[in-house]
Amino acid sequence: MKVSAVPVFGSFRDYRPAWLGSDVIAGILLAAIAIPEQMATARLAGMPPQAGLYAFVAGALAFAVFGASRYVSVGADSTIAPIFAGGIVALAATNTAQYPQFVALVALFSGILLVVAGLLRAGWIADLLSVPVTIGFLAGIAIHIIVGQLPLIFGTPEPHGPLLLRLVAIMHDVPRANVAAVVVGVAVFALSWVAERLGPRIPGPLIGLIGAGVAAVTLRLSEHGVALLGALPSVLPTFRLPSFDRDALQLVPIAFIVALVCIMQTATVARLFPSEEGKVDDVGADFTAVGIGSIFAALIGAFAVDASPPRTAVVRESGGHSQFAGVTAVILIGILVVFFSNLTAVLPLAALGGILVFIGVRIFRIGDILQIARYGGLEIWFVVAAALLVIALPIEIGMALSIALSLARGVYVVARPPSAELVRVPGTTIWWPPNEETQSERVPGAVVFAPAAPIAFTNGRYIAARLRAAVAAAAQPVNVVVIEAAGVIDVDYTGARIFCDTIARLRQTGIDVAIARLSDPRAVVAANRTGLIAAVGADHVFKSVQEAVDALRGDSGDHGRGIDDVTESGQNRRGPKAKPKKRPT
């Protein structure tokens, strides 16, 4: 695996002075969206509101220096906050003072993992998670977020324990809900939802938060039992390396899951919003930048950061051209913290709850779920299973099992590929899987079989068994078997040994075997190296199925080899044609 260098200021490459004004405007809008969202996400992470702002500063500055994308916005993210918060709460149950320390360590560990993934160009990791499983565990996280904020909106005590038991307790307390808090939370949610429908440039959460603050002052909501956020500390964060103890290693699995989700989401956001249409950004550099942002956040008392699809859309739709938009937002947040920190003192907590419920609804991608239900067939059950795992179990365990479910599905597809016998389209030399829509014919005595997958240790015995079953099911005695290898992109040693044994057994029964259309260069090299070509015979490797069938059946005068010689480089070398040996039927 090749290690890549870390680029610096990649998003500012070919920067034009004319873009500065658009970047500043995009930065102002980004700050308007990010400030309430980051404070709300901090509460979701179990941290004070300023920690969310610090996380945004760390993520935005790190990505401005090391990221490749012009648009990606990085900061506190509601997708990963419940993951590490749920896992850390269990570890810090006996000593809550350790919680901020554990949060910083998770950010540090996940940041290191992301940097390594970026340096190794491990963007392929993002493809290991199937879309249905991803949508499912995001739906589960959304349920966690929404249920967790209901006590804030209702103004009732916050219960503890498993999600379903907490939901029952919350519903039991609904009759005692604070009406003023409910009105504030619902109003902020509604404003956020309507604003997003009108356009990404409208900062609905900020409008709702300002309106809630004005209402809190004018209507004296605190006197009616509505809890307020309180003022932010008007000091800048200080650098401090998190201390390690014997419990630190228990945080590594949580950090691994957080890093994996960050890889998946960062790759998705970078692909959705490329810096240039038709070109793919260096996702490895973006992983590294997000990782450095998490490490930076850990050093200033914040938590892990991630790429954000909605905030990235704001930058793109607002006319931003570079990461200077994020830098502008950082400057505005610094001004808020240093000079206007008292403004947050009158913000109702129910307003933050309304914003988080809005975020949860946005994460619950009902449109994608309906599309999977319509077009994905049985894959909708992977959505349901992943969601239930995250809902019913501790969130970090549910996430781990959801990831395992996705990987298990991928392994199953590789281990049980759709290998099948092929039939010929009448009047042509085209061989095709049999179906009701296409007329087909079988050549007497010949079986054409397509593995349609790499021949490997995971599926070699299954494919060989399907081949033997196709021979046994033939209506007439078989004397020719052609393995159509267009779908074979690799051959490993175990798979080759299984096929060599199968070929030998078939020939012992008087059946000749050939390979046709082995065209992938890597597969050709592997087939030579593992001895598969030697087992079948170099003169039994052909360019087309029809040529192989005719040659082995002796249907024409001089049917030579389709591939006269297969070399280690995968190139064909012409040589004298040799007729295959005819075997008794």
pLDDT tens digits, residue range 402-415?
Answer: 888 888 888 888 88
pLDDT of residue 20: 87
Same domain? For 456 and 512 the reply is: yes
Q: CA-to-CA distance for 124 and 268, rounded, in angstroms? A: 12
Lowest mean pLDDT among 61-65, 233-237, 239-243: 233-237
pLDDT per residue over 184-197, tens digit each?
Answer: 999 999 999 999 88
Report CA 157 to chain centroid distance, whole Å. Answer: 36
* Helical residues (DSSP H) of 199-234, grouped into ranges: 204-218
Section 536-541 average pLDDT: 93
What is the extent of the structural domain holding 544?
420-553
Residues 385 and 513 grouped into a single domain: no
Q: Looking at the structure, tell me whether residues 400 and 472 fall in a common domain.
A: no
Q: To 5 degrees, how large is the angle CA 485–CA 489–CA 491?
A: 85
Q: Which residues pair with 515 in a beta bridge?
A: 483, 541
Instruction: Give CA 224 to chain center in angstroms.
Output: 45
Q: pLDDT higher for 510 or 129? A: 510
Which tokens in the block code for residue 194?
Answer: 């309507």
The residue from 392, 412, 432 where one domain ends is 412
| Count of domains observed in the chain | 2
- Do 73 and 205 have their domain in common? yes
Looking up residue 511, the CATH number of its domain turns out to be 3.30.750.24
pLDDT of 398 reads 85
Amino acid identity of residue 532, one-letter, is L
Q: Give every strand in the sheet of 541-542, ordered side by side.
A: 431-432, 420-424, 446-450, 480-484, 512-516, 541-542
- Burial code (b: 16+ CB inside 10 Å, e: under 16) for 485-496 equals bebbeebbebbb
Pairing of strands 446-450, 480-484: parallel
**560 part of a folded domain:** no
Tokens of 585: 């039927």
CA nearest neighbour of 350 among 186, 205, 463: 186
The pair of structure tokens assigned to 320 is 């931003």
pTM equals 0.75
pLDDT digits (tens, 9 = 90+) for 28-54: 989 988 899 899 899 889 899 999 999
261 and 203 in one domain? yes
Residue 580 has pLDDT above 80, yes or no: no
Q: Which residues of 284-316 are buried (b: 16+ CB within 10 A; e: fewer)?
A: bbbbbbbbbbbbbbbbbbbbbbbbbbbbbbbbb
Residue 3 banded pLDDT, cuts 50, 70, 90 = low
Q: Kindly state the DSSP code that residue 566 receives in the 8-state scheme.
A: B
3-state SS record for 304-372 = CCEEEHHHHHHHHHCCCCCCHHHHHHHHHHHHHHHHCHHHHHHCEHHHHHHHHHHHHHHHCCHHHHHHH
Task: For residues 316 and 445, state if they share a domain.
Answer: no
Is 129 a member of any domain?
yes
pLDDT at 105: 94
From 359, 388, 412, the end of a domain falls on: 412
* pLDDT score of 584 more than 50: no
Is 578 a domain residue?
no
pLDDT tens sequence across 391-439: 988 887 888 888 888 888 888 888 888 888 999 988 888 898 887 777 7
Task: Please determine, for residue 483, whether its predicted confidence score (pLDDT) is greater than 90.
Answer: yes
**Residue 568 reports pLDDT greater than 70:** no
Domain co-membership, 170 together with 257: yes
Write out pLDDT tens, residues 331-378.
Answer: 999 999 888 888 888 889 999 999 989 988 988 989 999 999 999 888
Q: Which of 121, 139, 128 is nearest to 284 (CA)?
A: 121
Q: Taking the mean position of all CA atoms in its chain, how far away is CA 258? A: 12
Same domain membership, residue 404 and residue 435: no
**Cα gap 2→289, rounded to integer Å:** 18
- Give CA–CA dist 310/200, Å, rounded: 8
Does position 502 have pLDDT exceeding 60, yes or no? yes
Determine, yes or no, domain membership for 287.
Answer: yes
Whether 563 maps to a domain, the answer reads no
- pLDDT of 276 higher than 90: no
Q: Is residue 431 part of a domain?
A: yes
Residue 421 CB burial class (10 angstroms; 0-12, 13-18, ≥19)? buried
Whether 1 has a pLDDT exceeding 80, the answer reads no
Instruction: Look at residue 572 and tell me if it is in a domain.
Output: no
Per-residue tokens: 207: 């409008």
Confidence of residue 381 (pLDDT cuts 50, 70, 90): very high
Please indicate, yes or no, if residue 91 is contained in any of the structural domains: yes
Main-chain dihedrals φ then ψ at residue 446, nearest 5 degrees: -120, 140
Q: Domain check: are 276 and 425 in the same one?
A: no
Do 384 and 445 reside in the same domain of the chain?
Answer: no
Q: Are 145 and 182 in the same domain?
A: yes
Give the integer Cα–Cα distance in Å for 429 and 549: 10
Residue type, 69: S
Both 345 and 473 in a single domain? Answer: no
- Region 140-166: mean pLDDT is 89
Most confident segment among 109-113, 145-149, 322-326: 109-113
Confidence (pLDDT) at 93: 65
